[in-house]
Amino acid sequence: MSGFYTKEADEALDFPFDWTASLAESDPDDTISSASAAVVPADGNIAIVNGTTHAAGIHTPELTGGVVGTIYILRSTIITAQGRTDVQEKAVLVI
């Protein structure tokens, strides 16, 4: 994880995680079977809304809310058709 993304507290924004390179590296025929997202700290002020979507190697959780000045870690976890589990994270600063 390098750097951070920003969002305003009243925005609901998509934060796409691109898994295409990771999938191609391990097995070019592997795909995302399921994906989930979590946010830390889970303080009740920030939420993942409208579920999460995944298609063509991209997992896209939508994040809303948050406390101004707080850095949250958004974690994307996928399980592939080949049974692999992998995790990526993004730091999100609420401005």
- 35 with 85: CB under 8 angstroms? no
Instruction: Give per-residue pLDDT as tens, 17-67.
Output: 999 999 988 888 899 999 999 999 989 899 998 767 788 899 999 999 999
- Domain hosting 70: range is 5-94
With a threshold of 0.85, does the pTM exceed it?
yes
CA distance 7 to 73: 13
Model confidence at 1, pLDDT cuts 50, 70, 90, reads low
Strands 5-7 and 85-94: parallel
Q: What is the CATH classification number for the domain harbouring 68?
A: 2.60.40.10
Tally the domains of the chain: 1
